[in-house]
Structure 1
Amino acid sequence: MQQLPTLFVFTFGAAFIASLPPGLLNLNAAKTSVEKGKANGIIFGLGVALAVMLQTYIAVRIAKLISRNQHVIEVLLQLALGIFFVLAIVFFIKGRNQKSKPLMLVETKKRNSFSKGVFLALINLLAI
């Protein structure tokens, strides 16, 4: 338990560095800043940071669990192999049967920048 704060800081730092290149969260932060102003862009960024901190904590806990139990690694590898096999079959079938349809534009509602930042960061599992 004594190593948890140090491990958290290093993991959060790695997640921060990994989020520096342009990606989903950075481009949405820039878009929010341009469309809604600098303050909303900063609030969006704070929402992203909060979610990344939560993901970092979860990643540290999972890493400690995995490092203690070798059996967990074997189960995860078998599970991942099965999931990727099923996904490959599903996407091959879906790609073969897909017909192009015209796209319809739908107007979206404006959302709270902080909650949007938290949501997008939570679905972006790169930090974990």
Structure 2
Amino acid sequence: MEELKIFLIVYFAAFLGVLPPGLVNMTVAKTCLERGKKNGMYVAIGASLVILIQGFIAVLLAKYIFDHPFVQRIMLRAGLVIFIILGIYFFIQARNNKTEVKSSNKSFNNNFYKGMLIAALNVFPIPYFCAIAGAMNVGVGVSYNWLKITSFALAASAGSFTSLYLYVFSFVKIENKVEKFTEYSNYFMAGLMLVLIVVTLFRIYNN
């Protein structure tokens, strides 16, 4: 019963955490517009697999992150560097935008690994899930309950995938505006990176 409670709470926390526009879900939406819904789904699946791993890592590191604030600072600084690099990349892509909507027969591997890479670069879920794990005493303390830990990680992945799934199928509503969206999507992503850079700097100097 305790495992079910953990699953439901973490599921909805993950769902709501991924729902606002962010690095992963906007990549899913952008892939849908450029390469179709199937490829967007592959990105979502790849990202969800990495989030499953991040859920496990978050629980197992929860105690250490709460006991050692310097770990938080290291993670934030690493995230800052990643967001700066991604921001520059998306800005260059926007300036040289020659995107066409297309599909690929080699879609699974390319987009599955793309989803994994984007999710791996997004470092914020780990401290987010660490905070949830600490609040629920999952993985905190001397003894670990692996059933609870597994339930936590599965819920984090499932909740995130549900949110990404909504992004994939909301593509239907904007499919007739593909050209306009793809024209500005890279600028939007670059702007998002700028916001994340500011937020990360704020967190670094207030940690």
TM-score, normalization: structure 1?
0.59
The percent of aligned pairs where both chains have the same amino acid is 35
For structure 1, list consecutive stretches of 5 or more residues without a partner in the other structure. Answer: 88-102
Structure with bigger gyration radius: 1
More helix by share: 2
- Deviations 1:81-108 (Å, cap 9, x if unpaired)? 9x97xx9xxxxxxxxxxxxxxx78498x
In 1: Cα distance, 2:10 partner to 2:59 partner: 7
Paired amino acid for 2:47? V
Give the CA RMSD over aligned residues. 3.6
Mapping of 1:1-128 within 5 angstroms? 10-11=9-10, 13-66=12-65, 72-73=67-68, 76-77=69-70, 80=73, 105=96, 112-128=110-126
Shift >6 Å, 4+ stretches: 3-6
In 1: Cα distance, 2:23 partner to 2:37 partner: 18
- Deviations 1:48-98 (Å, cap 9, x if unpaired)? 11111111110000114456xxxx43xx349839x97xx9xxxxxxxxxxx
For structure 2, list consecutive stretches of 5 or more residues without a partner in the other structure. Answer: 81-91, 99-106, 127-207
Paired amino acid for 1:117? G
In 2: Cα distance, 1:12 partner to 1:36 partner: 29
